[in-house]
Every structure is written in structure tokens, then in C-alpha cells.
């Protein structure tokens, strides 16, 4: 790993939180992600199962976490399963974790090798009444591939058909959405790396630069600051391309007079930052560009003022929509007749703001968390309103990351330049 060792208290505390939610005499088993084939004999870069990482901090493939708090033998109440180090494999693929290293990362004292776990696991399962198994229940999941998690569920049910099976996903959705102070410290590091990178870009961007050159600067800056890399594929969209929400081609020239929308974030310690800024390629906002940008910034600040415990995402979105309507009337995008005759299922403002305003953020960019229940203290959200105008070939989006507190929120990106004046001053330098 490129990042410095994380505080193992993060994972010790996370396991305690999960165990407190388990039913009596239950065992919970978490397996790592697959190593996915690519082409020929190549495989994709390995990415750990987020739930397993949240419980352990372990990023190595072929790992397992087993939690059995009522195990008669205290030694086996928390178990980390690792692949046994193999001299030949290490010559090809690099060093694998030793027991003392794994304990230092995770805080788990009992390490068992993968090739010896079957017999032990059978004994523990025979002692348990309930088995918690992990599945990916993210609402946005689109893949139909049967991953290791789902194959493991089938294997367990086939081998132990009379046990009572429970979903860890229901617990994880609640637990992972509430970030601890220690988790926020890691997330803040990812955000600070992203902040430094944005300031670097403001000095780099000029007419004639290619979008992919900006992308390269981002990646270089991330790695030089010990980030694992990008939290997601960077969106570098100049001119009319900014209206494409997930534009990732990044292959066009940035021209004077255009705005450039940059949506990017560093991943540090497996936690993800998510920033969007829109800046003028030539360093100076045009009059109309400034008007639209400030309208978007107004919506951004208004949305921030609403994000506090008790409000639901649905109510929050409706309120932002009402404010967007007023702003779009003010800057000439909508007429009063458009609002009067609008379809309530497809509001008039949706022509210019056609995506959600916020999503949960954490180990995953679209992290686990409810979209129907009231927001709670400890959650982390993006705030990212946008204005996309086809007839003006312009797209503006402004995004920060907020930690919800008892009485409001803390903007974790409050130090990142955001106003027209701040951006122009830094680009001028």
C-alpha cells in the first residue's frame, strides 16, 4: 500500500459496532472479492470487499473475517484468515502479510491460514444457531456477475442447510453510513490531497491544454501524496462536454472562452474524496458564465444549509428543486409560464438540473446508506448541484463533502477555493 498505516482503532471499533448488532450465538463470515480476469492471462487490479476492509483494514486477496462472539474458546471470537505466504508466489507477485503484520493492521490477534480453515469453520458453525453472510445490496448495483460473496452463500447453504441465515447487508447499511471520528480523519486526508491537486491544476490549466493532460496531472499529484490513486475515473469536461454527467473520454482540447468541469477525488486508505469544480480555461469567467456559476454556488450553499439530522433525501431534494426554480427564473432559464404549466412528476427545473444533489460517501464513492429514512449525525454526503444549458453549450457543477453533526454539518472541503474571485485570483498567479 502507498498510504501510511491507518489507526487500527478504526477497525477494532468497527468490529465492536457490528458485534453489538449480532443476535446471540451467531457467527458472521466475510469473504474477500474475486480477482477478476481481464484479457489473456491478465487480471484486473484487485479491489478489496468494502465490508471486509471496514472490519479489518486488510487489502490482500483471498482473505476472510470470522466473528463469533459467543465462541466457547475466546481465542476464536475474532479470526482473520489469510493466504499462507508462498515463496514462489512471492517471487512473482510480491510479499504477503505475516501474522504480526496482519495483527498490527487489523487489531485481530488470531490469524488462521486459508488452507486450514475448513475444519475449524465446521466446528464453529456446528456451535452456532445463526449465520450472517455478506452480500452486495447497494441500491445502485448493476452487475449480474455472481461474485465470490454470492457463490459463498450458495456453498454455505448447501453444506449447512438447517441453520438460520441472516443478511449482514442490513446491518452494514446502517453501520457504515455513520462515520467515526477516526474514519473522518482518513477521509480528510483524501480530501486534503484532492485540495492540493486542485490548486496545482489552477496553475496548470490554460488554452490549448488537452483534457487528458489535466487528468495526468491529477494522477501524478495523487500518487506523489501517497494516495492509492483515483477514487473513481476523473471527469475532465471542457465546453459543451460538461453537460455529459459521466464524461470520461477526456480527449479534447480546452479552448479559451470555455469553462472546464472537473470531477475528481483521491482515494487514501480506501476512503474516497469527491470534488467538483468548474473553472474558466483562460482564467477569467465571462459575464454570463459568472452569472450561471454564482447561481450554482447559491444552490450549493442553500443545499448545505438544509443538510442536518432529521431531513430525508426526498424532502431535501424537493427543497433544493424549489430554490433551483427560483434561481433559473432569475437567470432567464425558465419563464413563469414554464413553472405554472410544469409536470409535477418532471419539474421544469429538471431541464437544467437532471441529477440528484447528494449521495453517501466513504469507502465507496456511492457509499452505503439510506435514501428513504431521515439523515443522521455521522453520515457523510456530497453536495453537488449543477446547471446544464444545451443552448449555451455550458455545464457547471460545484461539489463538496459534508459530515453531518448533531446540529448541522461540517464542510470537509471548506478550505478548497470555490468562489469566482478565489478561482480567478489563483489562476492569475
Instruction: Give the least confident one: 93-97, 225-229, 326-330, 392-396.
Output: 93-97
Pairing of strands 275-280, 409-411: unpaired
What's the pLDDT score for residue 189?
A: 98
What's the pLDDT score for residue 153?
A: 97
Mean pLDDT on 97-103: 97
What's the pLDDT score for residue 1?
A: 83
Torsion of CA 356, 360, 364, 366, to 10 degrees: -20
- Distance from C-alpha of 137 to C-alpha of 176, rounded to nearest angstrom: 13
Burial class (CB in 10 A: 0-12, 13-18, 19+), 54: buried
Q: In 221-372, which ranges are E strands?
A: 229-230, 235-238, 259-264, 266-268, 271-272, 275-280
What's the pLDDT score for residue 63?
A: 98
Mean pLDDT on 129-152: 87
In what helix (H) or strand (E) does residue 111 lie, and over which residues does it extend? strand 110-113
What's the pLDDT score for residue 146?
A: 86
Q: Whole-prediction pTM value?
A: 0.96
Mean pLDDT on 95-114: 97
What whole-number percentage of the chain has pLDDT above 70? 100
Q: For the chain, which domains are there? A: 9-174 (3.40.350.10), 181-428 (3.90.230.10)
**Among all chains, which residue has been given the C-alpha cell 476472510?**
64
pLDDT digits (tens, 9 = 90+) for 9-68: 999 999 999 999 999 999 999 999 999 989 998 999 999 999 999 999 999 999 999 999
Please state, rounded to an integer, the average pLDDT across all residues of the chain.
Answer: 96
Q: In 252-336, which ranges are E strands?
A: 259-264, 266-268, 271-272, 275-280
Amino acid at each position: 500500500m502507498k498510504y501510511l498505516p491507518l489507526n487500527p482503532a478504526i477497525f477494532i471499533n468497527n468490529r465492536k459496532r457490528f458485534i453489538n448488532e449480532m443476535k446471540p450465538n451467531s457467527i458472521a463470515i466475510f469473504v474477500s472479492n474475486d480477482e477478476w480476469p481481464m484479457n489473456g492471462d491478465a487480471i484486473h487490479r484487485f479491489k478489496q470487499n468494502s465490508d471486509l476492509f471496514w472490519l479489518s483494514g486488510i487489502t490482500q486477496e483471498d482473505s476472510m473475517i470470522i466473528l463469533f462472539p459467543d465462541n466457547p474458546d475466546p481465542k476464536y471470537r475474532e479470526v482473520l484468515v489469510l493466504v499462507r505466504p508462498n515463496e514462489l508466489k512471492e517471487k512473482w507477485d510480491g510479499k504477503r502479510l505475516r501474522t504480526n503484520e496482519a495483527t498490527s493492521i487489523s487489531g485481530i490477534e488470531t490469524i488462521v491460514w486459508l488452507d486450514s480453515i475448513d475444519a475449524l469453520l465446521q466446528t464453529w458453525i456446528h456451535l452456532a444457531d445463526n449465520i450472517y453472510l455478506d452480500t452486495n445490496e447497494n441500491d445502485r448495483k448493476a452487475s449480474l456477475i455472481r461474485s465470490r460473496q454470492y457463490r459463498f452463500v450458495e456453498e454455505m447453504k448447501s453444506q449447512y442447510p438447517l441453520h438460520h441465515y441472516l443478511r449482514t447487508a442490513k446491518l452494514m447499511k446502517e453501520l457504515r453510513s455513520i462515520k467515526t471520528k477516526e474514519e473522518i480523519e482518513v477521509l480528510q486526508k483524501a480530501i486534503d490531497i484532492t485540495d492540493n491537486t486542485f490548486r496545482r491544476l489552477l496553475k496548470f490549466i490554460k488554452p490549448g491544454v488537452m483534457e487528458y493532460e489535466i487528468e495526468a496531472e491529477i494522477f501524478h499529484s495523487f500518487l506523489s501524496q501517497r494516495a492509492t490513486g483515483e477514487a473513481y475515473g476523473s471527469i475532465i469536461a471542457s465546453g459543451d462536454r460538461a453537460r455529459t454527467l459521466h464524461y470520461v473520454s477526456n480527449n479534447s482540447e480546452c479552448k479559451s472562452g470555455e469553462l472546464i468541469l472537473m470531477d475528481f477525488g483521491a482515494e487514501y486508505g480506501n476512503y474516497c474524496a469527491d470534488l467538483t469544480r468548474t473553472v474558466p480555461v483562460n482564467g477569467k469567467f465571462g459575464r454570463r458564465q459568472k452569472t450561471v456559476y454564482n447561481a450554482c454556488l447559491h444552490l450549493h450553499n442553500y443545499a448545505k444549509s438544509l443538510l442536518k439530522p432529521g431531513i430525508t433525501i426526498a424532502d431535501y431534494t424537493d427543497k433544493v428543486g424549489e430554490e433551483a426554480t427560483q434561481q433559473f427564473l432569475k437567470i432567464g432559464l425558465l419563464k413563469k409560464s414554464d413553472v405554472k404549466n410544469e409536470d409535477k412528476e418532471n419539474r421544469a427545473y429538471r431541464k437544467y438540473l437532471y441529477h440528484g444533489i447528494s449521495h453517501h460517501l466513504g469507502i465507496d464513492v456511492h457509499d452505503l446508506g439510506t435514501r428513504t429514512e431521515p439523515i443522521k449525525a455521522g453520515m457523510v454526503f456530497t453536495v453537488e448541484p449543477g446547471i446544464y444549458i444545451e443552448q449555451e453549450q455550458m455545464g457547471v457543477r460545484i461539489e463538496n463533502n459534508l459530515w453531518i453533526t448533531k446540529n448541522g454539518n461540517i464542510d470537509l472541503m471548506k478550505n478548497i477555493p470555490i468562489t469566482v474571485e478565489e478561482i480567478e485570483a489563483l489562476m492569475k498567479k
